[in-house]
Amino acid sequence: MPGHAQNGNGDDDMAHNVKLEFKPYDKPAEGGDVVVFVGADRKSAPSAAGLLGAELDETIARAAELERFKGKAKSVLVLIAPGGLAADRLIVAGLGEGEERARLDWTALGGAVCARLSAGGHAHVLFEAPGEAASAENAADFALGVLLRSYRFDRYKTKKKDDDNGGAPARVTIHVSDPAAAKRAWKSRAAVADGVFLARDLVNEPPNVLYPAAFAERAAELSRLGVDVEILDEKALKKLGMRALLGVGQGSHNESRVVIMRWNGARDDVKPIAFVGKGVTFDTGGISIKPAQNMEDMKGDMAGAACVVGLMHALAARKAKVNAIGAIGLVENMPDGRAQRPGDIVTSMSGQTIEIVNTDAEGRLVLADVLWHVQDKYGPAFMVDLATLTGAILVALGTEHAGLFSNNDELAERIAAAGRATGEKVWRMPLAPEYDKLIDSKFADMKNTGGRNGGSITAAQFLQRFVNNTPWAHLDIAGTGMSSPSSDINQSWGSGWGVRLLDQLVKDHYES
Ligand code: BES
Ligand code: MN
Ligand code: ZN
């Protein structure tokens, strides 16, 4: 991958921005940053104190007093290293107390600490929580946060600041009591981090570079990990009858594609689970053209598809014991002499007819055919689709939660639980016949929008018309997949949202 060499084998010597390694406790080398953890009492762990000298806690206590540092979870205090310490800087990270401590998100902590490390430097993390044994899992989660935070997308900047490593540390050594256990725990996280980076890269790429066929080629690279990749071109899509999807792409000189990725990590007789992504590589709105302001953001209208590719990467790289299908619909929505018109009626692959009343409601047309195809051909145990589907979901939920719609309470609750575990949060929204009625059409079986009110819900109702009895969930990620606010673990415009969520869902419930 450009920008980030892929290394899904979980080697601790990864070719990322940051070189991460797990080592036993050791006297930190000369120079660099030393990181220690403290609770609300601002006392470091015994081995940190042992390694750094008895005055350490006194130094921390004095500095904390001056800086009003209370040891709250994820708060970070940066000091010039006191005399007697070989390091240049001492970094004190808070773990919090009580409830806060119990709920501590080690990944977010890793991100918060990474933000304060010396750019281009070498940091030594004394990974020990005072008063308890810090687990190998915690250390691996912390490392994941460091790595996710360090991501940069700078391949189009010709003047790189090569001295500062893009603001991230060059090397982070995490000192743990059991390095072998930490490395084992790290392996699967490294695979997930690579999947997130792949998704972010795809979302950040400009739309002249990442048009549908180019996107399909990127997805095809997953074959190196043992994923079976099939690319359907326009001829194949016509043959299948995907006229709803093809109608969206017909105004573009860039041909449409559908990509089917299959990872077979379980026995052949185990039903696959399926993930479907909206991949509009650029959404002008078509003839119902969007205003100029911020239209450039519509390069990110393929964040759903990017997540599906990133997830398939993660599952394959960590050799998940699951049969998973990833299917993405790739089109460019352009105005043109051949473009689809408002008023056109198209016949979808399902046979149902759709009156196009707004060419900017294109994502649902793409998903309609891909969902139908996946359900029909693969009979999956469930389907989850991800799409930057509606601006209305931003109005309803902002950028903190993705909208979750589902025909199945168990699946919905499992996704919500994975959201709580990973911090990629979802909020369930309603589906009901009263909403479904709003997309009935005078001229065809349905129309492609139900008006302004409840816009995210009528969009989901539209999708549901292409799902039979298969358990299904739809995630509207218009607010979370792109252009969302920076967080402890993400500073990138394209967030890679959903890769960690769905990897967790698979890990918790669907691996044999
Ligand atoms: N891709 C947009 C939705 C979107 C908006 C994503 C803002 C990310 C940020 C989608 O194709 C769209 O244009 N939806 C319309 C639907 C309307 C015409 C019914 C919308 O949300 O306005
Ligand atoms: Mn649109
Ligand atoms: Zn769109």
Q: What is the pLDDT of residues 273-289, one digit of tens each?
A: 999 999 999 999 999 99
Length of the chain: 512
Cα distances from 490 to residues 37, 133, 136, 142, 481, in angstroms, run 22, 28, 23, 14, 11
Q: Is the per-residue pLDDT at 163 higher than 80?
A: no
Beta-sheet strand order (sheet of 257-264): 228-232, 257-264, 323-333, 273-283, 383-387, 472-476, 402-406, 426-428
Is there an atom of ligand 1 within 6 Å of 390 CB?
yes
Residue type, 88: D
Q: What is the distance in A from the centroid of ligand 3 to the CA of 332? A: 9
Nearest protein Cα to ligand 1, atom 17: 361
Instruction: Give the confidence band of 164 by pLDDT, cuts at 50, 70, 90.
Output: low
In CATH, what is the architecture of 192-510? Answer: 3-Layer(aba) Sandwich (3.40)
Q: Give the pTM.
A: 0.96
Q: Can 364 be counted among the known catalytic residues?
A: yes
Residue range 309-314: mean pLDDT, rounded: 99
Is there an atom of ligand 1 within 6 Å of 385 CB?
no
- Res 248: pLDDT: 99
Q: What is the mean pLDDT of the chain?
A: 94
Q: What is the distance in A from the centroid of ligand 3 to the CA of 461? A: 17
Each domain of the chain, given as residue ranges in start order, spans 19-155+164-177, 192-510
pLDDT tens digits, 419-449: 999 999 999 999 999 999 999 999 999 999 9
Q: Which of 64-68, 156-160, 295-299 shows the lowest mean pLDDT across its residues?
A: 156-160
Q: Can 318 be counted among the known catalytic residues?
A: no
Domain 19-155+164-177 CATH class label? alpha beta
Q: What is the spatial distance between Cα 52 and Cα 81, in angstroms, rounded to a whole number?
A: 10
> Is 362 assigned a ligand-binding role in the annotation?
yes
Comparison of pLDDT for 46 and 228, the residue scoring more:
228
> Is 13 assigned a ligand-binding role in the annotation?
no
Q: Which of 93-102, 360-369, 461-470 shows the lowest mean pLDDT across its residues?
A: 93-102
Ligand 1 pocket mutation pick from 295, 302, 360, 362 by most atoms within 8 angstroms of CB: 360
pLDDT tens digits, 327-364: 999 999 999 999 999 999 999 999 999 999 999 999 99
Is there an atom of ligand 1 within 6 Å of 449 CB?
yes
Residue range 116-125: mean pLDDT, rounded: 95
Same fold, 19-155+164-177 and 192-510: no
